[in-house]
Structure formats: structure tokens, C-alpha cells
Amino acid sequence: MILFDFAYERPATAEDAVAMLARLGADARLLAGGTDLLPNMRSELLRPGVLISLNALAPEPPQVAADGSVRIDALTRLASLERSGLIREKLPMIALAARAVGSNQIREMGTLGGNLCQETRCLYLNQRHDFQFSAPCFKLGGDCCYPFPRNAPTTCWSVYMSDMAPALIALDACVEILSDAGSRRIPIEAFFTGSGLKPFNVGAAELVRTVCIPAQPAHSGWGFHKSTVRGGLEFGMAVCAVCLRMEGDGKTCAEARIALGAVRERPVRAAGAERLLQGAVLDRARLAQAAAQASKEIDPLPHHGFTRRHLMDNLKVYLRRTLEQALERAQG
């Protein structure tokens, strides 16, 4: 039940949608799957005057380009990603990450682009405010921060929870963003600002159109793990996504990409841990050392009632296991 009225538009093309966004400004919001937007509208965290539905646009099926990269329409439902034969064969990490999101119904509704553009979360922000807190917090334009009372008004320590984003970062993906001036292409890491107040580098009149994932080199392996309490229908305690590329000998690491989600205001790369792996001969001890380094350098924000200490320990264990998985795949 949404307690306020809004207008509804259903443009026939993506170009019409961005033109509408440009005309309506910040009063409008794009609606794709709605699994993040509509609960936020129900709790009145968001009160858009107009919803622009993208559901008249049929998503194109994933395609392989001449250079081996895979293009995925941002409107592709997560369940179709999970089931797509092409994705399961070429990019099994994406299929697994899509399967880790929410519940069966959420995956049938939610889209890849919507998953990337989900609102950040904190214990205060995603509650119904009227019976708990009355003054708005920094993110809502107010002058306090409930979970971190000594916070400054320029920061918001809400956490970005997407499961797809770390996997896409580990795979070195790009996003194509459409505006009425044309489309631009940025590496997915540049898509996130790292500020909880405004998490994404997109203008008010832009929409995420396509995600492109380059072909994976030889001797490379991947690992993905979403660490949870129950194993279904929840936000992760940590989402670990790893790609390792090995030298021809299969023992020395040529390149390591470690992306961690659900720890900060944006998905983060563990640069120190990557440096520990690159150029080194990998064994279990080395991987454990890298995981410990990552847990130290990331400094996770407490969320969903977990303490910082707990999240760090959790990261140390699950990142090590994810790295072991990736090494096994790179060597096998």
C-alpha cells in the first residue's frame, strides 16, 4: 500500500524515457522491477511525483560481441540471467551472483540495472520513521545521524548491498549510460561515488542501459560467495567476488581482482590484498594472508546489527575460501 498519489508514464523507448526524465527533473523516478523503489515509496523514504515505467521496453537477450565481450541489457531480469544458457556458460559468476539476490520472486521481478541502482541501507533509513524517529537524518536532508551520532553532516554511512556489483567489478565490466545527449560508457567502478548521500555517478536525466563484460583471459579463475545468516532472502554480511589470472606455469599470479560488497557505501576493491597476490606464487598461506590484509584495509561499516569486529572476521574467513575457489578454477 503506497500512501500518496503519483503520476505514471510508460514510454515506448529508452530515448523517450530519458527525454521525460530531463523534462521532469528530480520529481521523477524510473521504475523497472520495483523491488527496491516500491518498498522505499511505501516507507515514504522516497516520494516521487512521477514514476516512469521502463516495462514497455522488452530487454534484448545477452549477446556476445566479435571481441568475445558479453553485452547484457540492464532491463534483463535477474531470473533470466540465472537461467540464461549463454551467461551460465560464458560468465558463470554472473549467473551465481544473480541467484544469490533476494528471493525467487524478487529475482523474477528485479532487473540487473535496478540491482545496481538500489538505494543504500542502514538500520535507520529503511525503517518506517513515524513511530521511531521524527527528525530526518543527513541523507534525508536533516541534521543528525542515528546509527553514528558523532558523524558529520557531509557523510552518510549507509551501506550499498548489491550482490551483482562486486561480481561485475571483479570481471572488469563497463556500464553504458544513456542521456538525452547520447550515451557514455564508464568502467563500473567509476559508477559509484563512495558517498552514502549520493551513491551513483549518474545525472538526474540518465539511465543505465547496458552492462558490457569483457572476454575472460586464459588461465583465469573466479570465485564468488555471499556470506549470509540464513542463506536466502537477506542482504549479505559480505559479498566476495574474485578473479585471478595466472601465468602460463599455473602457479604465479599475473593479476588479481578482489571486489567486496555489503561492506561500505560502495563496492570496494581490496588493493593491498591484490598487491600481495600479484606476482607471487600462490598457496593456501598466501591466500590467507591476502584475506587477512583485505579485512584490515576495508574497515567494514557495521550494518544490520553486526559489529565491525564480526564483519572483519567474517570477511577474513569467506574471502580466503573464495580465493581458494578461484585458484582451484584457474588451475583446473
Partner 1 sequence: MLEATRGSRTAATKAPTQLISLCVNGEWREVAVKPRHTLVEVIRDSIGLTGTKASCESGTCGACTVLLEGRPVLGCITLAIECDGMEIRTVEGLAQGEKLSALQEAFLDQGAVQCGFCTSGMLMSATALLENHPKPDRDQINKALEGNLCRCTGYNAIVDAVLQASGQGVKPVMR
C-alpha cell belonging to residue 96: 551465481
Q: By CB under 8 A, which span of 25-33, 216-224, 256-264, 299-307 interacts with partner 1?
A: 25-33
Total interface residues for partner 1 by CB under 8 A: 47
Calculate the CA 150 to chain-centre distance: 28
Helix or strand (DSSP H, E) at 293: helix 284-298
Residue corresponding to grid cell 599455473: 250
C-alpha cell belonging to residue 49: 511525483
Task: Please give the DSSP secondary-structure letter assigned to residue 138.
Answer: G
User: Applying CB under 8 A, which of residues 5, 89, 130, 143 lies at the interface with partner 1?
Assistant: 5
Report, in Å, the least distance between residue 114 CB and partner 1.
Answer: 12
How many angstroms separate the CA atoms of 197 and 273, rounded?
28
The residue (of 198 and 284) whose beta carbon lies closer to partner 1 is: 198
3-state secondary structure of 76: coil
Interface map 38-57 toward partner 1 (x if CB under 8 A): xx--xx-xxxxxxx-x-x--
Scan residues 123-162 and list those touching partner 1 (CB under 8 A). 138-141
3-state secondary structure of 21: helix
Applying CB under 8 A, does 269 fall inside the site for partner 1? no
Task: Please give the DSSP secondary-structure letter assigned to residue 283.
Answer: -
User: Applying CB under 8 A, which of residues 14, 17, 31, 243 lies at the interface with partner 1?
Assistant: 31
User: Applying CB under 8 A, which of residues 181, 190, 233, 281 lies at the interface with partner 1?
Assistant: 233
Which CA distances in Å does 37 have to 19, 74, 97, 118, 246? 21, 16, 21, 8, 41
Applying CB under 8 A, does 196 fall inside the site for partner 1? no
The residue (of 44 and 247) whose beta carbon lies closer to partner 1 is: 44
How many angstroms separate the CA atoms of 29 and 118, rounded?
12
Per DSSP, which regions of the chain are E strands?
7-9, 28-31, 50-53, 63-64, 70-73, 174-179, 182-187, 206-213, 220-227, 238-246, 253-261, 268-269
User: Applying CB under 8 A, which of residues 13, 61, 64, 105 lies at the interface with partner 1?
Assistant: 105
How many angstroms separate the CA atoms of 4 and 42, rounded?
9
Q: By CB under 8 A, which span of 36-44, 163-171, 207-215, 246-254 interacts with partner 1?
A: 36-44
User: Applying CB under 8 A, which of residues 74, 75, 79, 238 lies at the interface with partner 1?
Assistant: 79
The residue (of 20 and 280) whose beta carbon lies closer to partner 1 is: 20
Q: By CB under 8 A, which span of 231-239, 241-249, 268-276, 315-323 interacts with partner 1?
A: 231-239
Q: Give per-residue burial for 6-18: e unless 16+ CB within 10 Å, then b.
A: eeebebeebebbb
Applying CB under 8 A, does 20 fall inside the site for partner 1? no
The residue (of 49 and 214) whose beta carbon lies closer to partner 1 is: 49
Q: Are 17 and 26 in contact (CB under 8 A)?
A: no
The residue (of 139 and 245) whose beta carbon lies closer to partner 1 is: 139
Helices (H), strands (E): how many in the chain?
11, 12
The residue (of 219 and 304) whose beta carbon lies closer to partner 1 is: 304
Residues that bind partner 1 (CB under 8 A): 1-8, 26-29, 31, 34-35, 38-39, 42-43, 45-51, 53, 55, 79, 102-106, 108-109, 119, 138-141, 197-198, 204, 231-233
